[in-house]
């Protein structure tokens, strides 16, 4: 009986903790017109408007310019500040894992090899405290992406202020994610000093399996009497209504991806990671393949790489005319997704024009996701998903948000982290 009482006490304590630290109530729908006046507006397409007027109503932007007579409704004086479109975190597992050490909170992957029918969206936890912590840095939307297997599953696009996944989704089932076979692998564990690269003897066979699977999916007729959930999920890849995101890094593997795209006559293909994509940039451009480049805050993968290769990859690819956006997968990806603007800031520090670096986490990302008509820039008719910052949002010192809106809704910028910051700042001030 004593153990039962202890167990009940733990459950009550845990429940109380979760209640105290629960996400804020999502903001209500926009009911009055809002005008942001006086800010420097970073449009997201490399344009900048000084002393701007940004007006939005019913969740949509209705005016962007300098004519102050267009301001109406509730006016926000943003003189000396900056207004940006909401940043978009692609290839993220936000909301799919809350605590890595607790298996019951981990929904980022499933058992199996070919899993196009696995939809990350239905496992998305809109009330995740990790998701909530994105907003104070201006990361207001994300592509929620499954992992694991050869085909991981289907991603969806969400906004980060909702009760549940149904309310959060802004584009459902946007892309299939394929982990391309590796031509080489490294022996031993990461801490071994004598690790060597070994050739994957089954590489060609693994590619053949992928090609055969895609051909069978293309031949499948949706709605067939004998329904195949896997092939049903692949519908849309071959007419371009759904994207194919191929996770690949090596030069040879990327060349094989280009050949695969041509062989399967695929319209929308994006490389994710793309560490050696700069070596075949001309071929990527010629074949209309975009790149979600790995996070810039990484060390080089190889001893003979330039020390700053990860920092300058965005410039190398964009200078070659490739459509480039930034993603943040890797160790502690979910927590580090809040650093997305600073990845762009690093790209700017290593040669990318500052406004183009901004575009790599806004409009370019929206284009790759097939959502450029709805999000990604401050333009009339698009969602009023934007924020006001005291300074340069791509700089840690200037990224200080004073207001943020998702689809016109005035959202909270408070999180568990900001609460702790205020609590302990006051403690040490006293």
All residue ranges of the chain with pLDDT < 50 are 1-20
State the greatest distance between any 2 C-alpha atoms of the chain, in Å, as a whole number. 73
Q: How far apart are CA 325 and CA 321, in angstroms?
A: 12
pTM, to two decimals = 0.90
Q: How many CB atoms lie within 10 A of CB 23?
A: 20
The DSSP element (H or E) to which 184 belongs, if any, is strand 184-186
What is the length of the chain? 430
Please give the pLDDT value at position 16.
40
Question: What pLDDT, on the 0 to 100 scale, is given for residue 221?
Answer: 80
CA distances from 32 to 56, 57, 294, 386, 402 (A): 9, 7, 40, 16, 19
Strand-strand pairing, 409-410 and 401-406: antiparallel
Residue 360, phi then psi, degrees to nearest 5: -70, -10
How far apart are alpha carbons 190 and 338 in whole angstroms?
27
Per DSSP, the residues of 167-202 read HHEEEEEEEEEEEPPPSEEE-S-TT-TT--EEE-TT
Give pLDDT, residue 11. 44
Q: What is the pLDDT of residue 220?
A: 87
Of the candidates 428, 312, 339, 278, the one whose C-alpha atom is nearest the C-alpha of residue 92 is 339
CA distances from 408 to 134, 235, 415 (A): 18, 33, 20
Cβ contacts of residue 9 below 8 Å, gap of 6+?
A: none
What does the pLDDT read at residue 316?
96
Q: Answer yes or no: are the C-beta atoms of 329 and 294 closer than 8 Å.
A: yes
169 with 119: CB under 8 angstroms? no
Alpha carbon of 21 to those of 16, 104, 410, 419: distances in Å? 9, 19, 21, 10
Burial group, residue 19, by CB count within 10 angstroms (0-12, 13-18, 19+): exposed
Domains of the chain in start order, with CATH, are 23-86+377-430 (2.30.40.10), 87-375 (3.20.20.140)
Read off the tokens for 42: 């970073």
Q: How far apart are CA 135 and CA 341, in angstroms?
A: 12
**Number of neighbours of residue 28 by Cβ within 10 angstroms:** 8
């Amino acid at each position: 009986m004593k153990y039962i009482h202890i167990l009940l006490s733990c459950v009550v304590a845990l429940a109380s903790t979760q209640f105290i630290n629960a996400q804020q109530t999502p903001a209500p729908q926009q009911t009055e017109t809002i005008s942001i006046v006086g800010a420097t507006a970073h449009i997201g397409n490399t344009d900048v408007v000084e002393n701007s007027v940004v007006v939005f109503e019913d969740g949509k932007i209705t005016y962007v310019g300098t004519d102050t007579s267009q301001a109406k409704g509730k006016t926000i004086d943003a003189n000396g500040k900056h207004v940006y479109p909401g940043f978009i975190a692609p290839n993220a597992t936000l909301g799919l894992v809350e605590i890595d050490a607790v298996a019951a909170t981990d929904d980022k992957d499933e058992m199996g090899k070919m899993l196009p029918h696995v939809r990350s969206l239905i496992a998305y936890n809109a009330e995740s405290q990790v998701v909530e912590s994105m907003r104070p840095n201006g990361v207001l939307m994300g592509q929620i992406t499954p992992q694991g297997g050869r085909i991981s599953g289907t991603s969806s696009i969400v906004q980060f202020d909702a009760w549940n996944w149904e309310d959060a989704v802004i584009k459902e089932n946007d892309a299939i994610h394929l982990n391309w076979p590796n031509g080489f692998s490294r022996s031993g564990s990461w801490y071994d000093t004598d690790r060597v690269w070994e050739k994957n003897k089954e590489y060609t066979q693994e590619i053949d399996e992928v090609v055969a699977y895609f051909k069978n999916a293309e031949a499948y007729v949706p709605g067939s009497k004998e329904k195949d959930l896997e092939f049903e999920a692949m519908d849309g890849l071959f007419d371009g209504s759904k994207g194919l995101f191929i996770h690949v890094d090596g030069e040879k593997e990327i060349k094989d991806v280009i050949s695969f795209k041509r062989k399967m006559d695929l319209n929308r293909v994006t490389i994710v990671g793309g560490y050696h994509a700069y070596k075949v940039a001309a071929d990527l451009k010629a074949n209309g393949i975009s790149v979600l480049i790995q996070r810039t805050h990484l060390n080089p993968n190889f001893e003979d790489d330039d020390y700053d290769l990860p920092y300058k990859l965005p410039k190398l690819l964009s200078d070659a005319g490739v459509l480039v956006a930034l993603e943040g997968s890797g160790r502690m990806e979910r927590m580090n997704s809040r650093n997305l603007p600073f990845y762009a800031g690093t790209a700017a520090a290593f040669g990318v024009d500052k406004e183009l670096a901004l575009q790599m986490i806004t409009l370019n990302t929206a284009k790759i996701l097939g959502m450029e008509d709805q999000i990604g820039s401050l333009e009339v008719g698009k969602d009023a998903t934007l924020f006001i910052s005291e300074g340069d949002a791509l700089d840690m010192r200037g990224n200080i948000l004073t207001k943020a809106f998702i689809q016109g809704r005035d959202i909270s910028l408070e999180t568990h982290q900001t609460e702790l910051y205020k609590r302990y700042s006051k403690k040490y001030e006293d």
